[in-house]
Amino acid sequence: MSEKIKITILKGLIRTLVKPVFGPPWPYFIQRTWLDFMALINIKPKSTQITSVNMNGVPAQKVLNTQHRSDCKTVILYLHGGAYCIGSTKTHGGLTANLAKKCRAEVYVPVYRLAPEHAFPCAIDDSVQCYQWLLAQGFDACNILIVGDSAGAGLVMAAALKIKENKLAKPAGLILLSPWVDLTLANMTRVHDRIDPLLRWSNLKAASDVYLNGVEPNNPLASAIFADLSDLPAMLIQVGSEEILLGDARNLYEQAKKHEVDVSFNIFQGGWHVFQLQAGMLAMANDALEEISIFADNVTNSQLPKQEDLA
């Protein structure tokens, strides 16, 4: 089957079976259950091993590919998306398993607390606790990447800012897939949500309200484009050309450059919101993971002593 046909079919399935249930008027427990079920279409590579771990009191899954058990040097802390209200280790199981294989990494996926049951800043606190747990296990920060998609990418930025504030060892890099980093929804009037197969502005507005629970949306820990990004680790931003958060990704890129962060930015033409979830079945998603793998190798290797320094 050609890539063009696959894209057409996947967009149709997402637009028909996921978008109508992702957001109001459906209660969050229905959204969570349905998206967990729909995630069954995503592909996990063979030799994927998943175990339960406890990261400083935060339940999590450890994902690795047993073919690469002996040569894993990279550690990924993966913060899943879902507008701070839904999403799980199940919805992102295919993506995290493909990342584990492609990056030859141990991937840790926290079950962080979700709104509306747990509002801002609970998810941020959980994410930082998980990073501290990784350091306490003896993992070198220069081998740790913090990765996330959508609201999870917003958590990546918030966690990185808290890590800087608390003067913890800085991770090797940050990877942000379709980042939602402006909860003021300033881009709402710029892009009509009919072009995005998955997201609706009404969903983001409702989720933002229950997550913030009265906190101003321009709080830097909620909306990273308002934060001081100086001295953050190297960043890779990936976004699709057909999603309503394209403006957020562009603005984050510009802010990172303004604060002299080493940042790479890639718009995947024809891509939709977190198309990387379809890794293993879509060439565009596989290409995105290849770019992530190269970035991971570059930022982790760059922290290692040069050969001449060892002489």
Task: Tell me how far apart the alpha carbons of residues 283 and 46 are, in angstroms, rounded to a whole number.
Answer: 18
Query: Is-catalytic flag, 243?
Result: yes
45: left (phi over 0), alpha (psi -120 to 50) or beta: beta
Alpha-carbon torsion, ordered 17, 207, 78, 245, to 10 deg = 80
- The DSSP string of the chain is --HHHHHHHHHHHIIIIITTTSSTTS-HHHHHHHHHHHGGGS-PPTTEEEEEEEETTEEEEEEEEGGGGGG--EEEEEE--STTTS--TTTTHHHHHHHHHHTTEEEEEE----TTTS-TTHHHHHHHHHHHHHHHTT--GGGEEEEEETHHHHHHHHHHHHHHHTTPPPPSEEEEES----TT-TTTTTS-GGG-SS--HHHHHHHHHHHHTTS-TT-TTT-GGGS--TTPPEEEEEEETTSTTHHHHHHHHHHHHHTT--EEEEEETT--TTGGGGTTT-HHHHHHHHHHHHHHHHHHHTTSPPHHHH-
Query: Is-catalytic flag, 293?
Result: no
Catalytic annotation, pick one of 106, 127, 150, 242? 150
Catalytic annotation, pick one of 106, 178, 208, 243? 243
For the annotated catalytic residues, the residue numbers are 150, 243
